[in-house]
Structure 1
């Protein structure tokens, strides 16, 4: 099972086993990581699962498209590697992925 590294804005870090096929958002929700609110449940309609993909992983994860790209226009403090974690499907290739969480989702 791939391990995803979540880094909170305050520096707290979590290493979580996330099943292939789940999303990075679901891994955070299932493990009660506070920095991802996921108010819409993962349907790409609220942007409360915003995260920053570590630069070393961004090419492997890929750029946002479609609805996700539009939703990212509404996030607080976007960065070039911003993604919605509900749109990042976990694969074996993402084992070791590092995502940072913003100070606030609002």
Structure 2
């Protein structure tokens, strides 16, 4: 998967099936994803924008995730919490972008 930071710098890393996009980011020292709650969907510090080409494959956020996104910075229709996106084979090549600041 590819992480694009708020300055447009892209970094492609391997994700492990069954882990989350947030866990993948942390394992690979991706900047701009502090993930302060550790993946418990209890904060909005792993907020990402899913590339438009991937929105449908990633799916919609749960109600709990939508509630947490209320605390995120600059929420858009393609906003997701990366702790709530599970890495699976059909997401091979996923592209997400981090906002300029986390909530």
Aligned-partner Cα distance in 1 for 2:32–2:25:
8
Can you give the 5+ residue segments of structure 1 that lack an aligned partner in the other structure? none
State the alpha-carbon separation in 1 of the partners of residues 28 and 62 from structure 2: 27
Task: State whether structure 2 residue 53 is matched by structure 1 residue 56.
Answer: yes
Q: How far does the alpha carbon of each residue in 1:56-76 deviate from its partner, in whole angstroms, 9 at most, with x for none?
A: 100000111121010011111
Q: TM-score, normalised by structure 2?
A: 0.97
Moved over 6 A (4+): none
Gaps of 5+ in 2: none
1:1-16 map, 5 Å: 4-16=1-13
What is the number of residues matched between the two proteins? 103
TM-score by length of 1: 0.95
Kindly indicate whether residue 23 of structure 2 is the aligned counterpart of residue 26 of structure 1: yes
Q: Over aligned residue pairs, what C-alpha RMSD do you find?
A: 0.6
